[in-house]
Amino acid sequence: MLLRESSNALDQTVDLAGTIGQGGESSVPHGDLLVAYAEAAHHDPASARELDYQMLEVVGPGGLVDAAATVAIFNGLVRSADATGIPLDEYVMNVTVDERQVLGLNDFSGSANS
């Protein structure tokens, strides 16, 4: 939801399928590289360093540090959410009905508690 809303705020359209590893070229600037970075970090953080050169060239050192910080903190947030069984916030639940269905998010085990 925040990806869609923040893209709208910048008059950008976004293909949410990129968040589940599908869809065409990302409409978010340098989105394909950022998705590749998140995926590499997930599979093996050390291997994500192979993308450093590209990341530095495209988003600079500040962008690289931002990307590392975002991936890292969300690896904490997902564990907080899954281990405590927190339900999706009511507002988010109401405005993401279609996206959750299309992206298959309702199949994740954590959905049972929302």
Minimum distance of another protein from residue 39's CB (angstroms): 7
Listed residue (97, 99, 103) closest to 114, CA to CA? 97
Distance set, CA 30 to CA 25, 43, 72, 74, 80 (Å): 10, 20, 19, 20, 29
Q: Candidates 20, 95, 97, 102: give the one binding another protein (CB under 8 A).
A: 20
User: At its nearest, how many Å lie between another protein and the CB of residue 77?
Assistant: 6
Distance CA 48, CA 68 (A): 9
Write out the binding residues for another protein, residues 44-63 only, by CB under 8 A.
Answer: 45-46, 48-49, 52, 59-63
Question: At its nearest, how many Å lie between another protein and the CB of residue 20?
Answer: 5
Q: Which is nearer to another protein, 26 or 54 (CB)?
A: 26
